[in-house]
Amino acid sequence: MTFQLDNKELLVKDTFPRIMKLGAEYFEWVDDPNKFIVELKKKNRSADLFTFVQKFVPDRTPKYDFYYEWERIAVLPISTYENWWNQQIRHETRVKIRKALKRGIDLRLVELDDDLVRGIKNIYDESPIRQGKRFWHYQKSLEVLKREHSTFLDRSQFIGAFYNGELIGFVKIVHDEGLSAFMHVISMIGHRDKAPTNALVAKAVAICAEQGIPYLQYGAWSQRGLGDFKINHAFEPVEVPRYFIPLNLRGKLALTLKLHRKMSENLPQKWIDFAVKYRNKWNTRKFASSTESVRKI
């Protein structure tokens, strides 16, 4: 469910409690939370709680009088590209980036046009499974993909990784004051041996360093999934305040009883690991024919 306020799209989780948040968290911010929430309470009829993250540049100290919890995100502090290359990343990561260039990976800035959208669709349609999960963008239409990737174009850059003239990976970086963030980072599974994603991250770091951007964010911090990849590229866990504001009596009750938290946060880690392992096996078996064709590329 979506909701519009102050030229921002808000998403509402259709469960109990119904939690509303910015549709583009970490790419746009609530500049005046007190005023925003007053308007939200007047117009909202669909959510019990509103949650938002405080922009952590330049200061992560909580500055609003709302209930908050700490959320961990992956952030790379950037001074110069040379410092990142020589001091921050590991030898193995440098080897992979060099390998990408030696194997003919061509990195360049690209515009969002029909050719790029077609290349993105080829990447997305390679497999219905990514990291053991159903892939959100699999078999979307060209029209939908162009619309989804057209957000924040006035402050975004696309970097393409090409092999023999074919787009095999890309990143979208959204720039903000004192901070940039990856909105998309993906490469073809069939070309993983050429390390295109490592090279794309390196190019993004170089661009941020050239523009004097001190921080690059890469989603949430997690030890699973892309956790090792982020660590290998010198991303660090940074805690930022996430606020929760009740919008009605149900919201107050949910917050008091801690029902706003994900169920997984209350489960033992070994149970979660088992569930993730089982899900990955199930998805791999269910889509075996599709994933097998990817391995043969």
Write out the DSSP string of 21-82. EETTBTTB--SSHHHHHHHHHHH--S-SEEEEE---SS--S--SSSEEEEEEEEEEE-S-HH
* CA angle, residues 45, 49, 14, in degrees to nearest 5: 70
Q: In whole angstroms, what is the distance from residue 19 CA to residue 242 CA?
A: 13
Q: pLDDT: is 287 or 48 the higher one?
A: 48
CA distances in angstroms from 157 to 79, 205, 217, listed in the order given: 20, 12, 15
What integer pLDDT is reported at residue 92 of this predicted model?
96
The 10s digit of each residue's pLDDT in 148-206 is: 999 999 999 999 999 999 999 999 999 999 999 999 999 999 999 999 999 999 999 99
The count of structural domains within the chain is 2
Q: How confident is the model at residue 57 (pLDDT cuts 50, 70, 90)?
A: confident
Domain enclosing residue 176, as ranges:
79-213+276-295
167 vs 289: CA distance, rounded Å: 24
Residues 282 and 139 both lie in one domain: yes
Per residue in 106-153, pLDDT (tens digit) is 999 999 999 999 999 999 999 998 877 889 899 999 999 999 999 999
Whether 117 and 138 map to the same domain: the answer is yes
pTM: 0.87
User: Which among 71, 89, 88, 55 has a CA at the least distance from the CA of 220?
Assistant: 71
Report yes or no on 163 lying in a domain: yes
Beta pairing partners, 71: 240
The SS3 call for residue 157 is: strand
Domain-located, residue 195: yes
Q: Note whether residue 89 is domain-resident.
A: yes
Contact 78, 236 (CB under 8 A): no
Q: How would you classify residue 244: left for phi > 0, otherwise alpha for psi between -120 and 50, otherwise beta? A: beta
Q: In terms of domains, do 176 and 281 share one?
A: yes
